[in-house]
Amino acid sequence: MISIRAFSSVFAVLLLFTVPSCNAGGGDSGRLEQDRMQSGSATDSRQGEDEISNSRQNAITRAVERVSPAVVGVNASKLQRRYVDPWFRLFYGEQYSLMPVLGSGFIISPDGYILTNDHVAGGSSEEISITMTDREKIPARLIGVDPVTDLALLKVDVDHDLPYIQLGNSDEVIVGEWSIAFGNPFGLMTSSAKATVTVGVVSATHVALEESEGRIYRNMIQTDAAINSGNSGGPLVNSQGKVIGINTVIYTPNQGSVGLGFAVPVNRIRTLVEILKKDGKVNREFVPGFRVQPVNEAIAQAYDLDRVEGVIVTQITSRNGVAARSGLEVADIILKANGEPVYSIGVLEGMIRYALRGESIELAVLRSNRIIPVALKLE
């Protein structure tokens, strides 16, 4: 018979050995629960990182990813005349040297057609090559140029398809929408093999700039995306990654970007590319066949005009010229051309020089106290 004191001692010993074994089972369960919590925390962390990463991806970053591989650096060497002393020239003649020119361009087809500016790789270029974003340098051929719109078409010959950019529709550009400029400012692509990207908005459309070195800049797209020296010839794209223009002109009173950059609209480019592929140049060999002078105060009073505006036809110079065939007459006052007020002779001259053979300029003409339409067909 076991006493109560002995039974208590035995019970205490049993409890001593029994309780720890129960605790061991509870510890495994706790660690499993802890592991599950840590695993869930890690999953939540990864999901959070993915969400953050996804939140950084937007229309602009996606457009940059699509467009960048098709942007190229353009390297050209142009033959330029050097200044020499007139006495030295008598014996040795004119002296020339090759000057390197760095610019930008972009591939528009998988078979290697490339667009850039005429002032980057135009007619006086002796050697032209492009730098791809994979550092590959490829010799390029000049297919054709249009100095009037500052456009040059190049071609590289490769045995594989190249990345290219889709051309958009510049008629659908909206003022205030995103605009992304790509290029090779200051030749940085030569060393980094990466196109530089700047982002802004479309600031204005249908902008006309002053003629410069025989180039006519009409219907330009204005952007505040930073465009610097070397960006010439690069693409201006929208948030869909489609080209809306080719970066051509910057307003730079301090030799740097001040937020005024201009691009030739892509719809004009599309037409010119087909012409350059076929002919290598743009045919503008038509004879306007008329002369004008600005309307002054006396003419405005004589014609009972509300304001001094327009130009008056003073002479039809050719029976076979565009003016005679279109029905324009002496003493006609041209008030508008393609809906734009003709406030100077330069406006009308610029439109005629910018136009392509076969196109028409729709004139609003004051004749016999009536405003009539005259289609000036350039052929």
Q: Annotated catalytic sites, by residue?
A: 119, 150, 232
Q: Which residues contact 82 (CB under 8 A, 6 or more apart)?
A: 95, 96, 97
Q: State the DSSP code for 109.
A: S
Per DSSP, which regions of 269-356 are E strands?
290-294, 311-316, 333-337, 340-341
Query: Can you spell out the DSSP letters for 257-269?
Result: --S-EEEEEHHHH
Distance CA 355, CA 201 (A): 28
133 near 68, Cβ under 8 Å?
A: yes
Residue 37: in which H helix or E strand, if any? helix 4-56
d(CA 369, CA 126): 57
What's the sign of the alpha-carbon dihedral 136, 137, 138, 140? positive
Cα–Cα distance measured from residue 310 to residue 343, given in angstroms and rounded to the nearest whole number = 5
**Given the structure tokens 């065939």, which residue do they identify?**
325
* Cβ atoms of 223 and 258 closer than 8 Å: no
Say how many Å lie between the first and final Cα of the chain, rounded: 133
Q: How far is CA 96 from CA 92, 100, 147, 240, in A?
A: 11, 13, 22, 45
